Structure 1
Amino acid sequence: MADDNYLRRTAITRPILTTEQTQLLDATINEWKAACNISSRIGWRTGETRKVSLQDLAYDTVLEETRLGSQHAILATHQAAAALSGVEELEELDEDYKTSRPSFTASTVTYDTRTMTLFDDGSVSLSTVDDRIRCDLALPDGENGYQHQYLNDGDWELTESTLTRRDGDYYLHLGFRKPKPEKQVETQGDDEDRTVLGVDLGIVNIATTSTAYFASGRELRHRHRGVERIRGNLQQTGTQSAHRTLQQMSGRESRHVRDVLHRVANDIIEEALEHDCEYIAFENLKHIRERAPPVKEFHQWAHRQLVDLVEYKADAEGICVEYVSPENTSRRCPECGHTSKGNRITQAEFECESCGATANADYVGAKNVGWRYVRRGLQSSRRTGDSQLALKSGTVTPNRGFVPSD
């Protein structure tokens, strides 16, 4: 089965280490970096970027010049080959782009199922430059931690993982995979009804669905403005201490935003599942970038992150994510179809100049986004079913109009 047919997830945890184990892992990380750089130099000199071929060229040298075991030596050559292949792709995209040999400086080391073993008691065995070490993992109590859904589910298969040293602490990024579920649309015939969830991406509400779910962006905006003020002051200070503080603050801010967006993405998926939606429709983000002023760059980044999160979460549920043009989605009346700039009274208010219908502007946008994909015909000219837009209290279809839920 091809890699494209797998769902991939990462569970992050911390190994609980003794002083001796820490020293062994430190040495292993240092040897790993040396092995990757050796392989990178050989691949750069010979022009070889294929994993197996670079392994043949560099394997013996890595074993001679480092303390790594045979499997870790192989993994190091593969890591270097992947980096060299990335450089080659950049050169193909832009022949004027100046590239250099990949250099490995990060305090990480890759593990696979031959160099790492997970045990049912919540411990792990790791290969080092000396003997294997075995230690417990710092897992949440009970079954509440998200890591348990991968550790305790036999459908998830352990794959390549990464041990990282950061600020004196160690983190184990455990890689898991399982076959993707079939897309819901692939298991239905062309004559089946299919339901679309429309999603509008905005500023006041970072996301709004056609089923009237609102994810407020107020807290994110307030926090971001505060961080930007502090960042400006630190940049003016210009000291090393200010630079370190700036890096720490930026890391905390990114993690906080990503956590918020994860929760919003989960809520959007829940809306789709609750209303039996096979499709989630978003505005095309390319158009958002073109029409948004620079002051909204933060929201553009957040929207891109949110859509990426929804895509991979939808993949796990067999739901398709599609995109439509955002043109006039904030100006079109979903009740009568009248389109006018004057329909949008304020950032949050919509009132149709023709029929007088009023609604929240973001909710109108979400319905129009979903409706545009419904009217597209859901990609099949042979369909005889009636595609529909999911609303809070039912669905609306081109042929039957509004149909209340049971």
Structure 2
Amino acid sequence: MGDDYVHRTAITCLEVTDEQRDLLEETISEWKRGCQLATDMAWGKCNAKSDVQPLAYNDVRECTDLGSQHAILATHQAAKAITGCIERKAKDKKVSKPTFTAPTVKYDTRTMTVFDDDTVSLSTTESRVRCDLALPDADNGYQRQYLDSDNWSVMESTLTVRDGDYLLHIGFRRPKTDTERNTAEDGTVLGVDLGIENLAVTSTASFFSGRELTHDLREFEKVRAGLQQTGTRSAHRTLEQSSGRELRYVRDVLHRASNAIVDEALRHECDVIVFENLTHIRDRTGASWGHRWAFRTLYEQVEYKAETEGISVKQVGSAHTSKRCAECGFTADENRSTRTNFRCVKCELETNADYNVAKNIGMRYVRRGQQSSRRTGDTQLALKSGTVTPSGGFTAYPDRFEAELTDKPLSQRANPSG
């Protein structure tokens, strides 16, 4: 049965006192314990909410300080995570029991109340806390279109901690219009570019350096070539040992990078993570065999980790993404003069070349969605400072969620050159 609602999220900072901070920290800690306990009990037995809840609820209540409703939500979160693993296993992917380490906690309408005076009441392990929402002064701030509208209702939300700030991802929904019914859900897209200098760069301007990995892969290839040329039994044993160490090291690097990409998607409430098609990535990047294996492995790790969070992972064509200006759309060989620098000869935008590609990758998927009869055309690309649509509509994130003026369309920037 299809979902007859349109879902959106408004990211809002909270103003918290020291006492409230302590209560929220304790609640997050207990939430992670509750989710893990429910997962441990249900793993290998069941995955439906209706089965996990009666199986684990009493133990979650007895072994944690969570209230009754948060205990229920923890069992539901466990069910969701296990279901993601089952779906991945059905695609012949490796799976392992989910672990809960992220500093987050779920809220629903029973554990959270948003008031008209721009405050929110949140349940904790001891009592409710009432915090101010740090909303922008402008009456047309992007949160207002949801908070002040009778059409949007508050639904399940997520509280997360980042760099000491408490960010409440308030979920909203409204009934679909007749034209929106029976269409695929639109949402927010995170573009990701893979490369040599930077292992991965996102459309939200997160960079994951590839220099150390590149160096170590080259050193490994040198050692392997030397040992293979020697050809002795001792050299063969050394080669096997060296290969094992290198494989473990590279997998650890990719594990950390894939976690960071998924975390970036979660932080910006993205529904889709988009990469370029990996088929010809060696030709595009000059990648070695080791790099091609690393790119494929990184993609697969992001895919299965994102699926457990309800995020889709897609690929788009790679044609001209390195030569096209993500700001004005002008495409020319001269735009990318070096591997690392991009300068549009038309609008004179100067930016990191990989970052420009990441935005092009994400926007290509957004535009493709607009042309599909299954979508409503409301898909948007996540940038560092906000979200943007193909028509140039820009929605800024709330204050204190970081900002980067060069992400804004030319019409909204005082200096087009950034």
1:150 CA drift (Å): 8.2
In 1, Cα distance between equivalents of 2:212 and 2:364: 30
Of 322, 330, 353, 1:361 maps to 353
Q: Cα gap change, 1:370/1:243 in structure 2, threshold over 3 Å: closer, same or farther?
A: same
Q: Could you list the per-position Cα deviations for residues 61-100 of structure 1 after superposition, in whole angstroms to 9, with x for gaps in the alignment? A: xxxxxxxxxxxxxxxxxxxxxxxxxxxxxxxxxxxxxxxx
Unaligned runs of 5+ in 2: 1-29, 47-80, 89-170, 399-418
Of 210, 221, 226, 2:214 maps to 221
Corresponding position of 1:179? 83
1:289 CA drift (Å): 4.2
The question of whether the paired residues in 2 share the 8 Å contact of 1:180 and 1:316 is answered with yes
Is 1:331 aligned to 2:235, yes or no? Answer: no
Of 193, 201, 207, 1:200 maps to 193
In 2, Cα distance between equivalents of 1:154 and 1:379: 45
Give the root-mean-square deviation of aligned CA atoms.
3.1
In 1, Cα distance between equivalents of 2:194 and 2:342: 16
Of 226, 232, 235, 1:233 maps to 226
Corresponding position of 1:284? 277
In 2, Cα distance between equivalents of 1:249 and 1:158: 40
Corresponding position of 2:40? 153
In 2, Cα distance between equivalents of 1:154 and 1:378: 43
Corresponding position of 1:43? none
Q: Could you list the per-position Cα deviations for residues 287-341 of structure 1 after superposition, in whole angstroms to 9, with x for gaps in the alignment? A: 3245555x62221111000000011111101111111001111110011100011
In 2, Cα distance between equivalents of 1:158 and 1:243: 44
In 1, Cα distance between equivalents of 2:257 and 2:37: 22
Paired AA for residue 178 in structure 1: I
In 1, Cα distance between equivalents of 2:264 and 2:309: 12
SS in 2 for 1:157: coil
Structure-2-length-normalised TM-score: 0.53
Q: Cα gap change, 1:230/1:289 in structure 2, threshold over 3 Å: closer, same or farther?
A: closer
Paired AA for residue 394 in structure 2: F
1:193 CA drift (Å): 4.7
Corresponding position of 2:152? none
The question of whether the paired residues in 1 share the 8 Å contact of 2:370 and 2:376 is answered with no
Corresponding position of 2:366? 374
Paired AA for residue 366 in structure 1: A
Corresponding position of 1:301? 293
Tell me whether 329-338 or 376-385 shows the greater mean CA deviation.
376-385
The question of whether the paired residues in 2 share the 8 Å contact of 1:197 and 1:281 is answered with yes
Q: Cα gap change, 1:382/1:221 in structure 2, threshold over 3 Å: closer, same or farther?
A: closer
Q: Percentage identity across aligned positions? A: 57
Q: Cα gap change, 1:150/1:263 in structure 2, threshold over 3 Å: closer, same or farther?
A: farther
1:231 CA drift (Å): 1.8
Of 379, 382, 396, 1:404 maps to 396
The question of whether the paired residues in 2 share the 8 Å contact of 1:284 and 1:325 is answered with yes
In 1, Cα distance between equivalents of 2:341 and 2:396: 25
Structure ID, larger Rg: 1
Paired AA for residue 301 in structure 1: W
Corresponding position of 1:116? none
The question of whether the paired residues in 2 share the 8 Å contact of 1:330 and 1:364 is answered with yes
1:377 CA drift (Å): 1.4
The question of whether the paired residues in 2 share the 8 Å contact of 1:386 and 1:399 is answered with no
Q: Cα gap change, 1:220/1:386 in structure 2, threshold over 3 Å: closer, same or farther?
A: same
In 2, Cα distance between equivalents of 1:158 and 1:252: 36
Structure-1-length-normalised TM-score: 0.54
1:398 CA drift (Å): 1.9
SS in 2 for 1:386: coil
The question of whether the paired residues in 1 share the 8 Å contact of 2:323 and 2:331 is answered with yes
Q: Cα gap change, 1:317/1:346 in structure 2, threshold over 3 Å: closer, same or farther?
A: same
Paired AA for residue 331 in structure 1: K
Of 239, 251, 260, 1:258 maps to 251
Unaligned runs of 5+ in 1: 1-142, 160-176
SS in 2 for 1:346: coil
Paired AA for residue 326 in structure 2: P
Q: Could you list the per-position Cα deviations for residues 113-151 of structure 1 after superposition, in whole angstroms to 9, with x for gaps in the alignment? A: xxxxxxxxxxxxxxxxxxxxxxxxxxxxxx9xxxx9589
The question of whether the paired residues in 2 share the 8 Å contact of 1:150 and 1:156 is answered with no
SS in 1 for 2:288: helix
Q: Could you list the per-position Cα deviations for residues 34-73 of structure 1 after superposition, in whole angstroms to 9, with x for gaps in the alignment? A: xxxxxxxxxxxxxxxxxxxxxxxxxxxxxxxxxxxxxxxx
The question of whether the paired residues in 2 share the 8 Å contact of 1:192 and 1:385 is answered with no
